[in-house]
Structure 1
Amino acid sequence: MRSQSQELKSLIKEEYDFSKIGSMQVDLEFDYEKNRAKTLAVAKANNLKLKEVLPNGKKVELQEIGQDGSPIYYETYADNASQTSRASALHSNGLLNLDLDGLGMQVGVWDAGVALTTHQEYDVRAMIGDGSTEVDAHATLVTGSLISSGIKRDAQGVAYRANVLSHDWTRDKIEVADAAANGLLLSNHSYGIMPDRVPDWYFGSYIKVAQDWDNIMYNAPYYLMVTAAGNARHSGDNESPIFGANMDGFDLLLGFTIAKNGLTVAGSNSKIDRYGNLKEASVSAYSSYDPVDDGRIKPDLAGDGSSILSTDANSDTSYDVSAGTSMATPGVTGALLLLQQYNEQLYGSYLKAATLKGLALHTADDVDAPGPDYKMGWGVMNAKRAAEVLYQKDFNSHIGESSISSGETFEFSVKAKEGETLVASISWTDPASEYINRGELNNSTPALVNDLDIRITQDGKTFLPWKLNPKNPNAAAEKGDNLVDPFEKIEIPNAQGNYTIIVSHKGNLLQDTQDYSLIVSGASFTECRLNAPSGLAFANAFVSGISLEWDEITDGLYEVQYKNEKEETWISNFTANGSATLSDLVLSENYIVRVRTFCSQNMASEFSMEYKFTFEGINTEVGVLDIFQTLGVDNSINFSVYPNPAANQISLLTEVGESAMYRIISASGIELKVGQVGTEPIQVADLATGMYILQVKDGDSYRSTKFYKN
């Protein structure tokens, strides 16, 4: 597995227009210096504090003077007060057993100060990125939630072997623009504008700070900003919300939390079962609601921010518990980092930010009424499901990065998986809007520049994406023409048959083109079936080899493995046809051969039965090693383990009862392991390389499957 190396960063940078990025960086630096001088002058003239620590321990700093003259203060979004994240399903001992931990990956953290980089949980993986010297407790908590190694088990971070570049927030836009231009994929911002020190028109407004962040992400399309929604729901700070009374909690998001291209995180209280399924979820009592004034869906999704144990800045061995959207945000950021690591592991590249954001929203767990809402956006982050969609690419899912030109329409035909929900979504990094609000209360001017559309049709019927009504934020989501969001999603429950997905746009596109990402799940993208090849037979023999044939499977790619029975290592070849040549064979030596079907890059059947033969040239005969048949393996039952082949552990991909027992049997029929199927993976590291049977007794039923131990 490669890390986020300079080579991979260089591949990202090759796609960037550095003339535009350079011009943007100059503008940001100029604006900062100009505004900083103005900020210091206004502070002096009005006896304003530049920094202060509130009685509750929260840090506040005067960041700039708004265009209307309002002083804009940054504050941290956490309260003193531990974390369940389905990103744990991606860890080595998780439900998917993917061994993802963030090793070699890098994430930026901007906060009120820098983290205590010497903390025992970080080793040497936390570094100061901007020369700041002010160590901050909040930054240390956030950094721990991301990368703590787990010396204290309950404080382990989501990406517990990743690296953090820690910065203070003073020059956040300038520093992020430079880091993004150099290949940074993600940054975490668990802070925002202080809501009780700005006029009401600021709430929900697309102002210059949101425009600047959108511009950064548009010019560095692999970079995604992840920010906290804030904890102001019961503050009553907005006396003139777009809907309801000030204590209803709506219309409270500010500044960069409203940027179109970033991902804004709400807090949730969630209950997850041992299979990673969401059983209950509700928005946290503190988490700020939206809508944005133009009706966009914010926050984007929710993470668990309830009483999180993490690293503390008092000493290298101290810990503290905190709660708030500040703590929900690094849980989501860390999960997104693991998904980038997984995509690179599977496909050798990183996802563009629009794809990563789209994947998170596409796979989030819906909460309450169907569709999004203005409380938790598209639902609760589900890193497990997102990883499954990545893994099943070109088999049961589609993930495509493309572009559309002015006047162009894209059509894509799919076949639904019967009985499942067909889900299709588009996501794009939109150009920064030229419009910014300069003081008008609840101005509904859309910030969206390029309005892309997705539709699904079948037999004359058109299915539309979700949308929300900002004039009634409590109402359930509707289906219709979404005019404001740079993410659109269509869901068709119990889909059957063939559908056509259509991507188009309205009006003229800025610069006549727009990149976008299309994600589809709940469909079949190949006629291939995950069945081991049958009908294996030898054809022609020659001096040092022999031809093997089998019954072809539609759209199948085949892996043929063979070895001398005295050897441990298999020789592996791939072919798109129902035949292969086994070469370099030695007369009178015994060999074993097996074949399996690949239906996509990752989706493979189990191997066929192993066939043993003695190579005697044209007189070669074959025999089946049928121990698996005698032990009752039934490949027609939907019962399997993951990963297969396995290295250290296997996990069931089928739900069983709490009292289910397992046993592992060798190819010669010897029982090797017995135990109860629990929530933890089954350890197989002590088994020798070879084929085994896992048999599970669940009540009165027995189910078996084969797995191969590397």
Structure 2
Amino acid sequence: MKSIFLFLLLFITISARSQLQKNTGDIFLRQNTDTNISSCDKCNFYTIVLKSGTPDSIIKRISLIAIRKIEDRIYIVDSGEFSKSSFANKNYDKHFLKNNNWKLSPVAMELKNNSAKKVNNYRFTIAVRDTKFISNITDIDPGIQKQILIFPSQQLLSVFSSYKKIEKLFLDRDEVISIDVNLKSPKEELAFQGFDLSANKINTVHGNYPAMNGAGQHVSIKENFYDTTDVDLHGRLENSPLASKIITNHANFIATIIAGAGNSIYYAKGAAWGASISSSSFELVLPDADSYYKHYNITVQNHSYGTDIDNTYGINAVAFDKSANNDPDLLHVFSSGNSGTSASAAGVYSGITGFANLTGNFKMAKNVMLVGAVDSFGNAEPLSSKGPAYDGRIKPEIVAFQKNGTSESAALVSGTALLLQQYYKSRNNISLPSALAKAIIINTADDINTPGPDYATGFGNLNAIKAMDLITGNTILSGVAVQGRTQIFPLSIPPNIARLKVTLTWNDTAASAFAPAALINDLDLSVVNISTGFSWKPWVLSSYPNKDSLNALPVRKRDSLNNEEQVTIDNPLQGNYQVRVNGFSLAAGPQKYFAVYTMDTANIFRWYRPVKGDFLEGGKSGLLRWENTYSQNGNIEFSYASTNSWNPVASNVDLNKRFFEWITPDTIAPVIFRMKIGSTFIYSDTFLITKLLSPKAGYVCDDKILVYWEKLPDISKYLVYILGDKYMEPYQQVSDTSIVINRNVLLNNYIAVSPILNSGIIAPKSYAFDYTLQGAGCYINAFLADGNNNTANLTLSLGTTLGVDSISFEKLSGGGFVTIYGIK
């Protein structure tokens, strides 16, 4: 009886969704077509309604030439293009359009019907067949010329105007095929200081892959402009003609997370701290020209902004999907938004609070990576915008740590992508395709929240070190799918494997604007045990517009919505398997794809923090992090590296929590941890407990400056740094707590100091300070006289007494100065 109930539930869900689509098509036909018109010589567009039983080959051909797909059986086509294709009349009915309202997005249609708003100016995006007709438009209305931006290669126009004028000048033009509008300008999606690279194991990449820092990679940050004097971006900024004229702290913070050098302080070191950075304004919310990405060698563009919740596959989404296909190595990374507790006001998911609240139709694109947010411990953030996409696809694909907004999460993924690109190219001498980068990031993410994918955290929490390790292991498959054929890849699974995970991705052909479903080429992934014949299909979430359905756990079935599919098998039997990729329905022809896999071993524990290069500040709270597949609890101990004496930290620790908060000893010393699990010990890398110095300028004279700092216990040597072409560079080692520096050796104004342990280990640098901004003069910082009747109080402030033999206060008296007070 239980199996019958499940079958009926599935049947009701599918039937209900099909009915929703059917109603959409019927409503469109009633509102936009005229059955009384039997022929129309001057009609340039008409509606094709496919008859029942139309062969799949005909449906695919029509879907490729269609300007817009209303639903699976209804298309709008160009009359000339359709006539050339010679489709048999028996396969379709033709309906002539009585108006051009079909060109309008749902948001633009709402604007048309709002008499108050239709006269206000908004940013419209218009898709056209060519841009040559613009000269005719400007002849009719010369004033519009200044409001039009033309993108010939993308066949797009961006127009800042009122709907009333857009309708008058563009709606009925044959060259125009769709019109969309942004009612709100893009806005930054919050980010504040306090990012943590260890939350997504980026610190472990820095420790285990020290040569990988993003050098040679180029990232574009699409939003407002950053302050180019930022010391953490010094020497790696590229001039861009597309940069905004508005400078914001948000832009600097995003740039720092992605590629900050850590010049100012250790926690300002970004994921790809060697990468070059450029800026592009987000005013138009469109991809930049293909030539821009190529000219500046940009392989990642970060988009930490949003507009309104918009559940349509709009012109912007189409443009980003085309951009990804035009440049297969370019990865667009978007923040999901900070509207996770809101509900969409339109679309099939209208009114469902907590779902389908992604901020912008451009985030409905298929070939980009959308990033949601989790806290430092991997818990889903309520305000992080959630999927599904307008057509039920899994969004966001991935999540990452944030302090206060998904902007930060996207930046961490962008920085990680740069590291992956650099590493892949160093090993293979070719660029990392964006579809493969997505597969690697998705497959190596830590499954959190609920088992399998979900609409809050996608496929899981970014794990940068596992992503790098996948490239090291080269567990990568690729091919070209062909209609109706299955490609087979042999896979041998050894004993003691806790989980096999396989992910398939491809950059899909862009659908037409406002299509009811975005997927064009449909591939299928499966994994088969050769000896038993058992087959595992990918995990698929319910896309039915009901909160209970959207919260339901995924089930194994064929995926007909997403261009990312994932199969997992827990505790697979040792033996020979096959990864199979089938070209189920390839409307756009053969499809390039990538598949990757990982195998997690049972009873594995791995330290993620601390690792080589990490440190904790003495006397403060610090997080320890690890990966674990053991079923027992463990005991944590630490030892100073110079001894073999182990001190307890915590016992009976729940290893599945994967973190522990530790109050560090108030000292400076190299330390090592170990985790005891049963009779097994797992040791961390040696790391440092340290203190940060606070150097200051003692005096700033024309030729020299004096810098001094406090003395630390048991430290007899210090290393002074000055800012070089890009990074803080060692200048001089001293045995004192001060140094005099000739100003002619300083290329810049920033200075920092590190303590050197007696073992020779160099501790982290202090905060890098600009010595010209400390208020220090040439010995004398200030000299004040406070007069009162016949007396005066004299106050002298010195930056230092170093080298000072005596101080004399003198008063002008008669023809000269006389000493009134002296200090030896």
Q: How far, CA to CA, are the matches of 1:341 and 1:166 in structure 2?
A: 20
Determine if contact 1:417/1:522 at 8 Å carries over to the other structure: no
Determine if contact 1:367/1:379 at 8 Å carries over to the other structure: yes
> Does 1:153 pair with 2:259?
no
* Partner secondary structure for residue 551 of structure 2: coil
Shift of 1:374: 0.9
> Counterpart of 1:265 in structure 2: which amino acid?
V
> Does 1:332 pair with 2:413?
yes
Determine if contact 2:523/2:585 at 8 Å carries over to the other structure: no
Q: How far, CA to CA, are the matches of 1:128 and 1:220 in structure 2?
A: 22
Counterpart of 1:403 (choices 480, 490, 496) is: 480
> Does 1:125 pair with 2:198?
no
Q: How far, CA to CA, are the matches of 1:509 and 1:253 in structure 2?
A: 30
> Does 1:450 pair with 2:521?
yes
Determine if contact 1:639/1:703 at 8 Å carries over to the other structure: no
Q: How far, CA to CA, are the matches of 2:353 and 2:677 in structure 1?
A: 53
**Within-5 A mapping of 1:255-334:** 255-271=361-377, 281-306=378-403, 323-334=404-415
Determine if contact 1:192/1:255 at 8 Å carries over to the other structure: no
Shift of 1:245: 3.7
> Counterpart of 1:188 in structure 2: which amino acid?
N
Counterpart of 1:470 (choices 535, 543, 548) is: 543
> Counterpart of 2:363 in structure 1: which amino acid?
T
> Counterpart of 1:190 in structure 2: which amino acid?
S
Counterpart of 2:425 (choices 327, 340, 344) is: 344
Determine if contact 1:87/1:335 at 8 Å carries over to the other structure: no
Q: How far, CA to CA, are the matches of 1:97 and 1:257 in structure 2?
A: 32
Q: How far, CA to CA, are the matches of 2:517 and 2:242 in structure 1?
A: 39
Question: What is aligned with 1:503?
Answer: 581
> Does 1:141 pair with 2:253?
yes
* Partner secondary structure for residue 160 of structure 2: helix
Shift of 1:256: 1.3
Question: What is aligned with 1:315?
Answer: none
Question: What is aligned with 1:218?
Answer: 325
> Does 1:110 pair with 2:222?
yes
Question: What is aligned with 1:84?
Answer: 196
> Does 1:187 pair with 2:294?
no
CA displacement, residues 548-567 of structure 1 (integer Å, 9 cap, x when unaligned): xxxxxxxxxxxxxxxxxxxx
Question: What is aligned with 1:659?
Answer: 637
Percent of aligned pairs with the same residue? 23
Shift of 1:179: 3.2
> Does 1:168 pair with 2:281?
yes
Question: What is aligned with 1:29?
Answer: 151
* Partner secondary structure for residue 288 of structure 2: helix
Question: What is aligned with 2:468?
Answer: 387
Q: How far, CA to CA, are the matches of 2:185 and 2:639 in structure 1?
A: 58
Shift of 1:461: 1.4
> Counterpart of 1:285 in structure 2: which amino acid?
P
Q: How far, CA to CA, are the matches of 1:386 and 1:348 in structure 2?
A: 18
* Partner secondary structure for residue 118 of structure 1: coil
**Within-5 A mapping of 1:640-655:** none
Counterpart of 1:206 (choices 313, 327, 333) is: 313
* Partner secondary structure for residue 424 of structure 1: strand
Question: What is aligned with 1:228?
Answer: 335
Shift of 1:500: 1.4
CA displacement, residues 48-87 of structure 1 (integer Å, 9 cap, x when unaligned): xxxxxxxxxxxxxxxxx98256635322211668122348
**Structure 2 CA distance for partners of 1:247 and 1:157, relative to 1, 3 Å:** same
Question: Which runs of 5 or more residues in structure 1 are unaligned?
Answer: 1-22, 47-64, 196-202, 272-280, 307-322, 438-442, 525-636, 664-671, 681-693
CA displacement, residues 644-675 of structure 1 (integer Å, 9 cap, x when unaligned): xx9999xx999895325598xxxxxxxx9868
**Structure 2 CA distance for partners of 1:508 and 1:401, relative to 1, 3 Å:** closer
Question: What is aligned with 1:311?
Answer: none
Determine if contact 1:25/1:174 at 8 Å carries over to the other structure: no
**Structure 2 CA distance for partners of 1:267 and 1:354, relative to 1, 3 Å:** same
Q: How far, CA to CA, are the matches of 1:191 and 1:704 in structure 2?
A: 42
Question: What is aligned with 1:581?
Answer: none
* Partner secondary structure for residue 39 of structure 1: strand
**When the two structures are superposed, what TM-score results if normalisation uses the length of structure 1?**
0.60
Higher normalized contact order (CA 8 Å, seq sep 6+, divided by chain length) = 1
Determine if contact 2:256/2:269 at 8 Å carries over to the other structure: yes
Shift of 1:695: 13
Determine if contact 2:311/2:356 at 8 Å carries over to the other structure: no
Shift of 1:172: 5.7
> Counterpart of 2:523 in structure 1: which amino acid?
L
> Does 1:426 pair with 2:426?
no
CA displacement, residues 189-243 of structure 1 (integer Å, 9 cap, x when unaligned): 1112234xxxxxxx3211111011101101111111001111122345x234644
Q: How far, CA to CA, are the matches of 1:675 and 1:345 in structure 2?
A: 42
CA displacement, residues 391-420 of structure 1 (integer Å, 9 cap, x when unaligned): 122xxxx11332223343211111113232
**Structure 2 CA distance for partners of 1:154 and 1:676, relative to 1, 3 Å:** farther
Shift of 1:447: 0.8
* Partner secondary structure for residue 517 of structure 1: strand
Question: What is aligned with 2:803?
Answer: none
Determine if contact 1:660/1:698 at 8 Å carries over to the other structure: no
* Partner secondary structure for residue 73 of structure 1: coil
> Counterpart of 2:232 in structure 1: which amino acid?
E
CA displacement, residues 12-58 of structure 1 (integer Å, 9 cap, x when unaligned): xxxxxxxxxxx99989714989744x423559999xxxxxxxxxxxx
Shift of 1:158: 1.8
Shift of 1:508: 3.5
Question: What is aligned with 1:312?
Answer: none
CA displacement, residues 591-619 of structure 1 (integer Å, 9 cap, x when unaligned): xxxxxxxxxxxxxxxxxxxxxxxxxxxxx
Superposition RMSD in Å? 4.1
Determine if contact 2:306/2:359 at 8 Å carries over to the other structure: no
Determine if contact 2:342/2:357 at 8 Å carries over to the other structure: no
Determine if contact 2:317/2:363 at 8 Å carries over to the other structure: yes
Question: Which runs of 5 or more residues in structure 2 are unaligned?
Answer: 1-127, 133-149, 168-176, 615-624, 629-633, 650-659, 663-671, 686-824
Which structure has the larger Rg over C-alpha atoms?
A: 2
**Structure 2 CA distance for partners of 1:450 and 1:181, relative to 1, 3 Å:** farther
* Partner secondary structure for residue 102 of structure 1: coil
Counterpart of 1:40 (choices 151, 154, 161) is: 161
* Partner secondary structure for residue 332 of structure 2: strand
Determine if contact 2:488/2:578 at 8 Å carries over to the other structure: yes
Determine if contact 1:100/1:338 at 8 Å carries over to the other structure: yes
* Partner secondary structure for residue 302 of structure 1: strand
**Structure 2 CA distance for partners of 1:349 and 1:676, relative to 1, 3 Å:** farther
> Counterpart of 2:596 in structure 1: which amino acid?
I
Q: How far, CA to CA, are the matches of 1:209 and 1:257 in structure 2?
A: 9
